[in-house]
Structure 1
Amino acid sequence: MPGNPGCTVYIGNLDEGVSDRVLYEILIQVGRIVDLHIPRDKETNKHRGYAFVEYESEEIAQYAVRLFSGLVTLRNRTLKFAVRT
């Protein structure tokens, strides 16, 4: 789990078919990623529909939320972004 809440962005509404790599390639466009955590179900190993990305600064995290909110759609789902509190 990412360590710094102010630098961490919640990403919601992920389709189970979205790969870690695709998500990473989108998120890296705004700044250096410290950690990407996609919680998975222990039995099925499918992700749970959300993820957390930790950027190297709070400014980058806030910029990512402003930039991506309402604009990123993967597999017919618009992703939700929020700074983790």
Structure 2
Amino acid sequence: MSIYVGNLDYSVTSEDLSEVFAEYGTVKRVHLPTDRETGRLRGFGFVEMGTEDEEASAISELNGAEWMGRELKVNQARPREDRPKSGGGRRNNRF
């Protein structure tokens, strides 16, 4: 299971997020996606913890909590949906 953490400040680091979640158990991994073109953080991240009980505790305690001036959105991450492949950059493909 993985935890989705939304509404993050754009200056947050993996270490910052790890410290917050470590209060609820062992943090195995933190991932902060960045925008492909700008390299800027996208304002959300994912945290994996040692056990499902630790993750449930972190979700329960941190969802809606204020951190770095923002109200966190914390819940169980959903699997990534398969996206259709692009048409090679062409628009309005007509056949």
TM-score normalised by length of structure 1? 0.81
Backbone CA RMSD of aligned residues: 1.3
Pick aligned residue for 1:80 from 70, 73, 76: 73
Pick aligned residue for 1:31 from 20, 25, 28: 25
Higher fraction of helix: 1
Which aligned runs of 4 or more in structure 1 are off by greater than 6 angstroms?
none
TM-score normalised by length of structure 2? 0.74
Q: Which has the higher contact order (CA 8 A, sep 6+)?
A: 1
Count of matched residue pairs: 78
Residue 72 of structure 1 deviates from its aligned partner by 3.3
The answer to whether the Cα contact below 8 Å between 2:14 and 2:31 also exists between their aligned partners in 1 is no
Question: Where do 5+ consecutive residues of structure 1 fail to align?
Answer: 1-6
Identity %: 32
